[in-house]
């Protein structure tokens, strides 16, 4: 056996090891951020929130108002904070631009995240397990999940932004990072940036468009677009955040709300009371029961066991081949004497 064959075997062995890692690499395809790119829009101050943070908004939980920002949670364990606009939204088409900051000093351990809401004001809103909001809400949640519970088959990286539309029947599953019920999502590394970060949620012609500006480029980067999302009027806007065993500062700098006039609005159904529309989305996955993670853990254990076994076999093979190669070299040298 010559040295080239030995090098080839070593390279193949290294590739086998890293093949396991590359299978889990994150590939997030961002939906086309198409349609009504430049609609007419009007800032609606009655729904907006900016410093000195006085107006038609309620504050609850751990929320603290500073001069330049609102801190929904501090960087310490087990806090829930929220802000809510008291005025029901009468607009059919709107855009919310949320200026926020998520930062902490706990290295690789941080959580849980924050969320934007457009939900039924009838529910109790100021404390709950879904990023600080009550579970089984009615309406829309756009969830900024910083901590990957990763107890399931999803393969996205975190922080992760996803959307969920709920008619009050679905429970958010933290163990699966909401993958049971999400409409769509994208990875967005908004945490611990040196500059401020922004999120845009646009609801126009029954389409939900989510975009970010987290690179300080003053342009919107598409996150996802979901058509056929049905939301009623007269729900309210809110923002909440939560820490658990892990923590972060979740700061809100402003919420700017715009009324949108689409260039080509959908035909209105005369006589329809838009307040009575039931929240729904065509692309929402049907509800699934929470499955205990034992099956996944078993598969993970099997996969790890097989990987370790394969690596061990490869290592032993390499040692044997190396030994054979070394022995043959020694024999060649002896022939010269």
Asked if 144 and 190 count as a contact pair (C-beta separation under 8 A), the reply is yes
Task: Rank residues 163 and 204 by Cβ distance to Ca ion and give the closer one.
Answer: 163
Main-chain phi, psi angles of 329, to 5 degrees: -65, -40
Site string for Ca ion, 87-126 (x = CB under 5 A): ----------------------------------------
Q: Which stretch binds Ca ion (CB under 5 A): 170-178, 208-216, 239-247, 249-257?
A: 170-178
Q: Which of 145, 173, 248, 259 contacts Ca ion by CB under 5 A?
A: 145
Name the minimum Å distance from CB 215 to Ca ion: 23
Q: Which of 36, 95, 173, 177 contacts Ca ion by CB under 5 A?
A: 177
Task: Rank residues 177 and 248 by Cβ distance to Ca ion and give the closer one.
Answer: 177
Which residues, at least 6 apart from 146, have a Cβ–Cβ distance to it below 8 Å? Answer: 102, 110, 111, 112, 113, 158, 159, 191, 248
Task: Rank residues 93 and 156 by Cβ distance to Ca ion and give the closer one.
Answer: 156
Question: The tokens of 210 are what?
Answer: 């989510």
Please report whether residue 131 would count as binding Ca ion according to CB under 5 A. Answer: no
Q: Which stretch binds Ca ion (CB under 5 A): 35-43, 57-65, 142-150, 192-200?
A: 142-150
Which residues, at least 6 apart from 3, have a Cβ–Cβ distance to it below 8 Å? Answer: 325
Name the minimum Å distance from CB 152 to Ca ion: 11
Q: Using CB under 5 A, which residues numbered 264 to 323 contact Ca ion?
A: none
Task: State how far the Cα of 213 lies from the Cα of 159, in Å rounded to an integer.
Answer: 14
Name the minimum Å distance from CB 178 to Ca ion: 7
Question: The tokens of 105 are what?
Answer: 């000093």
What DSSP character marks residue 279?
Answer: P
19 membership: H or E segment, kind and range: helix 3-23
Asked if 233 and 275 count as a contact pair (C-beta separation under 8 A), the reply is yes
Please report whether residue 179 would count as binding Ca ion according to CB under 5 A. Answer: no
Total of chain residues touching Ca ion, rule CB under 5 A = 4
Task: Rank residues 179 and 254 by Cβ distance to Ca ion and give the closer one.
Answer: 179
Please report whether residue 237 would count as binding Ca ion according to CB under 5 A. Answer: no
Of 252, 240, 249, give the one whose Cα is nearest residue 105.
249
Task: State how far the Cα of 166 lies from the Cα of 171, in Å rounded to an integer.
Answer: 9
Please report whether residue 149 would count as binding Ca ion according to CB under 5 A. Answer: yes
């Amino acid at each position: 056996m010559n040295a080239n064959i030995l090098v080839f075997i070593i390279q193949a062995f290294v590739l086998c090891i890293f093949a396991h890692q590359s299978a889990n690499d994150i590939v997030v395809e961002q939906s086309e951020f198409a349609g009504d790119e430049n609609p007419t829009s009007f800032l609606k101050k009655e729904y907006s929130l900016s410093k000195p943070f006085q107006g038609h908004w309620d504050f609850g939980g751990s929320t603290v108002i500073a001069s330049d920002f609102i801190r929904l949670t501090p960087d310490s364990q087990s806090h829930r904070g929220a802000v809510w606009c008291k005025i029901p939204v009468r607009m059919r088409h709107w855009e919310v631009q949320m200026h926020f900051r998520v930062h902490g000093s706990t290295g690789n351990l941080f959580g849980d995240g924050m969320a934007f809401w457009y939900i039924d004001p009838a529910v109790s809103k100021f404390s709950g397990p879904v990023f600080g909001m009550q579970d089984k809400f009615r309406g829309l949640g756009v969830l900024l999940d910083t901590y990957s519970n990763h107890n399931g088959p999803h393969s996205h990286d975190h922080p992760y932004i996803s959307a969920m539309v709920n008619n009050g029947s679905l429970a958010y599953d933290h163990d699966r990072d909401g993958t049971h019920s999400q409409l769509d999502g994208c990875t967005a590394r908004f945490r611990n940036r040196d500059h401020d970060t922004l999120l845009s949620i646009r609801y126009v012609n029954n389409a939900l468009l989510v975009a970010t500006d987290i690179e300080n480029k003053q342009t919107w980067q598409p996150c996802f677009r979901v058509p056929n999302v049905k939301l009623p009027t007269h729900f309210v806007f809110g923002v909440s955040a939560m820490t658990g065993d892990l923590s972060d500062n979740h700061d809100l700098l402003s919420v700017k709300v715009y009324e949108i006039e689409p260039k080509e609005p959908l035909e209105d159904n005369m006589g329809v009371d838009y307040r009575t529309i039931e929240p729904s989305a065509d692309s929402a996955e049907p509800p699934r029961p929470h499955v205990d993670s034992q099956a996944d853990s078993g598969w993970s254990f099997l996969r790890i066991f097989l990987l370790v076994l394969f690596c061990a076999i490869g290592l032993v093979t390499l040692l044997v081949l190396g030994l054979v190669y070394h022995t043959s070299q020694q024999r060649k040298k002896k022939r010269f004497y």
